[in-house]
């Protein structure tokens, strides 16, 4: 079946440090890949996505590149801020079809808690 | 435009009791999903509605869980009777139209369920 593995957290960084959160996946076919972020007290928000190999998703200074050869989608940011403190989830959406209908359910990793100190 | 809302935000119940969680999707979104996160682990898919029909309920853990979506609008997820392992955060998400890549799933803030 489909699965997503994220690096174990929590991750604690100082402001302006470089961030990498590793994510690898197992899926049949060609999934779409996502990073979601959950800020304290809020729901999950889509941070970025990539739908095919070698695509780079980017948003708010975060980037991730869809690497089919290594089945990875690592999240990076060159200089983190205190406001980036949150839980980050890597996810994939693989298409299963039955009767011609695609379901689009997301498969998530276990989440990585990021804390950024001033 | 209002986002996905969930009620209650927290629920604490005794083992064996019944709890009903509610999700109101974004208006006009045909797709509604339920997910849950147990004990800091990964968020797992429970089921997917398209309008009032269940399209995929492969993630429902057992027959103690019952999901409905009345008239294709809001959805409820009932747990009866609740067990200790049901504790976790239950998320609801909705999206427009067919679940193509352009149709982002918007998530609610979640309901934290604690079963004692």
* The predicted structure's pLDDT at residue A100: 40
Instruction: Render pLDDT for A72-115 as a digit per residue (tens, 0 to 9).
Output: 999 999 999 999 999 999 999 876 554 444 567 899 999 999 99
* The predicted structure's pLDDT at residue B102: 54
Strands (E), chain B: 5-7, 10-13, 19-24, 31-37, 43-50, 53-56, 65-68, 75-79, 88-95, 106-107, 111-115
* The predicted structure's pLDDT at residue B63: 93
Q: List the single best residue of A100, A104, A107 to mutate versus B (max B Cβ within 10 A).
A: A104
The DSSP bridge pattern shows strands A19-21 and A44-50 to be unpaired
What is the rounded distance in angstroms from the CA atom of residue A110 to the CA atom of residue A20?
Answer: 16
Q: Is B67 on the interface with A (CB under 8 A)?
A: no
Nearest CA-CA partner of B24 in B98, B68, B75, B62 = B75
CB contact under 8 A, B40 and A44: no
- Burial (0-12, 13-18, 19+ Cβ within 10 Å), A89: buried
Q: Which residue of B has its CA nearest to A91?
A: B43
With a CB cutoff of 8 Å and minimum separation 6, the contacts of A94 are A2, A27, A28, A29, A31, A32, A107
Ranges of chain B whose pLDDT falls below 70? 1, 98-102
- Burial (0-12, 13-18, 19+ Cβ within 10 Å), A99: exposed
Retrieve residue A67's tokens: 């690497």
* The predicted structure's pLDDT at residue A97: 53
* The predicted structure's pLDDT at residue B41: 86
CB contact under 8 A, A110 and B101: no
Write the residue in A41, A43, A105 that is nearest to B4 by C-beta.
A43
Please state the three-class secondary structure of B16-34 as a single string.
CCCEEEEEECCCCCCEEEE
Which SS3 state, helix, strand or coil, does residue B103 take?
Answer: coil
With a CB cutoff of 8 Å and minimum separation 6, the contacts of A74 are A20, A21, A22, A23, A64, A65, A67
* The predicted structure's pLDDT at residue A30: 79
B94 bridge partner residues: B32, B106
What is the rounded distance in angstroms from the CA atom of residue B96 to the CA atom of residue B26?
Answer: 9
> Shortest Cα distance from A17 to chain B (angstroms)?
26
What is the rounded distance in angstroms from the CA atom of residue A26 to the CA atom of residue A33?
Answer: 11
What is the rounded distance in angstroms from the CA atom of residue B81 to the CA atom of residue A65?
Answer: 44
CB contact under 8 A, A43 and B108: yes
Q: Are B62 and B41 in contact (CB under 8 A)?
A: no
Contacts of A105 in chain B (CB under 8 A): 33, 45, 48, 56, 59
* The predicted structure's pLDDT at residue B103: 75
Q: Is B41 on the interface with A (CB under 8 A)?
A: yes
Q: Omega of the bond prior to B81 within 30 degrees of 0, cis?
A: yes
């Amino acid at each position: 079946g489909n699965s997503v593995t994220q690096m174990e957290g929590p991750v604690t960084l100082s402001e302006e440090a470089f961030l990498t959160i590793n994510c690898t996946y197992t899926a049949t076919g060609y999934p779409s890949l996502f990073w979601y972020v959950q800020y304290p007290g809020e729901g999950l928000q889509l941070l970025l996505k990539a739908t095919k190999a070698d695509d780079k998703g980017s948003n708010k200074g975060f980037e991730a590149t869809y690497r089919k050869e290594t089945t990875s989608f690592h999240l990076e940011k060159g200089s983190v801020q205190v406001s980036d403190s949150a839980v980050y989830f890597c996810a994939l959406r693989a298409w299963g079809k039955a009767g011609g209908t695609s379901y689009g359910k997301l498969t998530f990793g276990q989440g990585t808690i990021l804390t950024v100190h001033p | 435009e209002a986002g996905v809302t969930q009620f209650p935000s927290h629920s604490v119940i005794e083992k064996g009791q019944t709890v009903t969680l509610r999700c109101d999707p974004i208006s006009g979104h045909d797709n509604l999903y339920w997910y849950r996160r147990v004990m800091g682990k990964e968020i797992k898919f429970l089921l997917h509605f398209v309008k009032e029909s269940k399209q995929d309920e492969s993630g429902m853990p057992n027959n103690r869980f019952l999901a409905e979506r009345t008239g294709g609008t809001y959805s409820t997820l009932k747990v009866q009777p609740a067990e200790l392992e049901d504790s976790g955060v239950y998320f609801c998400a909705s999206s427009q139209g067919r679940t193509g890549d352009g149709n982002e799933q918007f998530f609610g803030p979640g309901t934290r369920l604690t079963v004692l």
